[in-house]
């Protein structure tokens, strides 16, 4: 059974590709390499270089490889930058998703796993987000993800055979293989790693929040756990198992930025004291997501400690120096 993984040359998508292969499923990668890396794609996996804005190429790929389902992990993923580039964000994330759904319909592909985002919740009043928490995205990125969910919802109404699921999550970290690492210029882990490799001191934005150690608490989930549940969702859809429309892939309790910094000091052996910067406007003190429904239905589990997360991220990045 072949699954198309859009964004399969990216950090998350490349882990999904490996998780699919490990389960005996046949991944096919579709990626424009705007942020992905060709070396992240295993040599044995078919790779189509192209943009999800190209409907004809998507349709050709679905038919040529006899795709049974799509895991949609492609997109413009930088929430902060999306505020300065809203048109680009909507084009990539909304128009791209529309093209995928249209091509899936025209090719007879009826299984769709959407790599959504917990950013659809915005800044909720609840400290722990559940699937019942009201959505209220606060950036074009979050809005584009929510619109993507609406597109899938409406297609399922129009075509009852169309089966889909939305997976929502916050901060993805670590690595399941030294072949793949997080190269994002905006995420906490690569920012800390690049600072340490360059001999600079990592920074914390604010240490006076109403949290146990004064720094922001966030959901950090390991990319291998995330990939595992993407594959579990794909298998469930293919088997006709009844699923919820959306699942949070969350820790339920979170970790503070200070805890992450302490983990880096322990794992790397580099003794450093983070530089404290002023708070960033709009940063809430604590946001984490509950993952109980995903644990019930999608084999979701937090299998890695903070030191495991740091160690695997550090080793993967060092392997590419």
In this structure, are 27 and 89 located in the same domain?
yes
pLDDT digits (tens, 9 = 90+) for 59-80: 999 999 999 999 999 999 888 7
Mean pLDDT by 10 residues, the chain (321 residues): 97 98 97 97 98 98 98 91 93 98 98 96 88 94 97 98 97 97 94 98 96 95 98 98 97 95 98 94 85 98 97 97 86
Whether 238 and 114 map to the same domain: the answer is yes
Residues belonging to the chain: 321
Structural domain including 86 reads 2-172+220-248
Does the active-site annotation cover 141?
Answer: yes
- 228 shares a domain with 150: yes
Q: Do residue 224 and residue 313 come from a single domain?
A: no
Share of the chain above pLDDT 90, in %: 91
Do residues 76 and 82 touch, judged by C-beta distance below 8 A?
Answer: yes
pLDDT (0 to 100) of residue 61 = 98
Q: Are 144 and 58 members of one domain?
A: yes
pLDDT at 95: 98
pLDDT recorded at residue 2? 97
Do 167 and 31 belong together in one domain? yes
Query: Which pLDDT does position 124 carry in this prediction?
Result: 85
User: 311: which residues sit within 8 A by CB, 6+ positions away?
Assistant: 267
Query: What's the CATH code of the domain at 208?
Result: 3.90.25.10
Q: Which of 141, 181, 220, 304 is catalytic?
A: 141
**Do the beta carbons of residue 34 and residue 75 sit within 8 Å?**
no
- According to the model, what pLDDT value does residue 203 have? 96
Is 298 a domain residue? no
Domain check: are 116 and 142 in the same one? yes
> The domain spanning residue 45 has which CATH number?
3.40.50.720
Residue 262 belongs to a domain:
yes
Residues 258 and 244 in one domain: no
Instruction: Give per-residue pLDDT as tens, 283-315.
Output: 888 889 999 999 999 999 999 999 999 999 999
How many structural domains does the chain have? Answer: 2
174: its two tokens? 């670590």
Helix and strand counts by DSSP (H, E) for the chain: 11, 15
Percentage of residues in the chain having pLDDT higher than 70: 100
Q: What was the pLDDT predicted at 81?
A: 87
Q: Is residue 194 packed enough to be buried (19+ CB in 10 Å), middle (13-18) or exposed (0-12)? A: middle
In the structure encoding, which two tokens stand for residue 288, read together?
Answer: 């984490």
């Amino acid at each position: 059974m072949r699954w198309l993984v859009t964004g399969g040359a990216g950090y998350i998508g490349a882990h999904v590709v490996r998780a699919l292969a490990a389960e005996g499923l046949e991944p096919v990668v579709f990626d424009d390499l705007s942020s992905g890396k060709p070396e992240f794609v295993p040599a044995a996996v078919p790779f189509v270089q192209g943009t999800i804005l190209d409907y004809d190429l998507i349709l050709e790929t679905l038919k040529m490889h006899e795709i049974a389902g799509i895991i949609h992990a492609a997109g413009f993923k930088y929430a902060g930058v999306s505020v300065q580039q809203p048109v680009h964000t909507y084009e990539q994330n909304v128009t791209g998703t529309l093209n995928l759904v249209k091509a899936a319909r025209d090719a007879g592909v009826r299984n769709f796993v959407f790599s959504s985002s917990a950013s659809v919740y915005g800044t909720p009043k609840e400290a722990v987000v559940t699937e019942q928490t009201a959505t209220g995205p606060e950036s074009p990125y979050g809005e584009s993800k929510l619109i993507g969910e609406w597109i899938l919802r409406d297609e399922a109404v129009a075509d009852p055979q169309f089966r889909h699921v939305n997976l929502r999550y916050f901060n993805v970290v670590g690595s399941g293989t030294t072949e793949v690492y997080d190269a994002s210029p905006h995420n906490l882990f690569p920012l800390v790693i690049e600072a340490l490799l360059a001999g600079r001191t990592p920074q914390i934005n604010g240490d006076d929040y109403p949290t146990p150690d004064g720094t922001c608490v966030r959901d950090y989930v390991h990319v291998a756990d995330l990939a595992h549940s993407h594959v579990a969702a794909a298998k469930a859809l293919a088997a006709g198992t009844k699923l919820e429309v959306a699942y949070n892939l969350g820790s339920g309790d979170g970790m503070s930025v200070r805890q992450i910094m302490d983990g880096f000091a322990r794992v790397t052996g580099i003794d450093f004291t983070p530089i404290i910067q002023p708070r960033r406007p709009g940063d809430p003190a604590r946001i984490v997501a509950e993952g109980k429904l995903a644990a019930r239905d999608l084999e979701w589990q937090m299998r890695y400690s903070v030191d495991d997360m740091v160690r695997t991220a550090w080793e993967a990045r060092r392997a590419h120096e």
